[in-house]
Amino acid sequence: MADKTTISIQPDQKQLTGLYGALKELDKDANNQLKTDVMAISQWSAGRIKSAASLNPYPKQAAKALATTAARRDRVPSVAIGGSRQKYSGGAVAGNILFGSEFGANPTSVNGRFPNGGRRFPMPSKGYGIFKTLKEIQPEITRQWKAAVDKVLNDWSKG
């Protein structure tokens, strides 16, 4: 059975406990509106992450892993990448190639090469695309999310 590896990009849930408590007070329509507004933010973020494949020294390899990027419907922006649904030759799944594609070869391997000389993954890095992109777009994600929460809270408190 293939290992399932998924990066789930979302805030630390412990830091959101108070907010979730407040959101529980919202009625069903307000929560659905917030989820709809936040889904748009998540979809935008997922699109930016998918385009990050071009930043990788092996963009075709990165594109395979990033093709599994999907926005999740929640009250906070959430994107998932990887998993075990997408399979490749040799039995690998997207989750198997995700971290190597993003962060590079195992530093204990010989320059990230297979014994026959082929490259396994690019050399180690701090992230070729996913994390660079997230760092770049985080202020915009935060701004849009705060605006969505404020809008729903204002509409709900008036109603």
Owner of token pair 């929640």: 74
What whole-number percentage of the chain has pLDDT above 70? 81
Dihedrals φ, ψ of 6, to 5°?
A: -135, 135
pLDDT at position 141, please?
A: 94
Q: Which residue has the higher pLDDT, 134 or 8?
A: 134
Q: What would the pLDDT profile of 77-106 be if each residue is shown by its tens digit?
A: 999 988 888 887 777 788 778 888 888 766
When the pLDDT of each residue in the chain is averaged and rounded to a whole number, the result is: 81
The pair of structure tokens assigned to 42 is 């998540």
pLDDT at position 128, please?
A: 86
Mean pLDDT of 30-35: 93
Of the listed ranges 21-35, 109-123, 126-140, the one predicted with least confidence: 109-123
Mean pLDDT of 123-150: 89
Burial tier of 139 (Cβ tally within 10 Å: 0-12, 13-18, 19+): exposed
Q: What would the pLDDT profile of 39-68 be if each residue is shown by its tens digit?
A: 999 999 999 999 988 888 888 888 888 889
pLDDT at position 78, please?
A: 92
What whole-number percentage of the chain has pLDDT above 90? 31
- Report residue 4's pLDDT band, with 50, 70 and 90 as the boundaries: low
CB-based contacts of 46, cutoff 8 Å, min separation 6: 69, 70, 71, 79
- Report residue 2's pLDDT band, with 50, 70 and 90 as the boundaries: very low
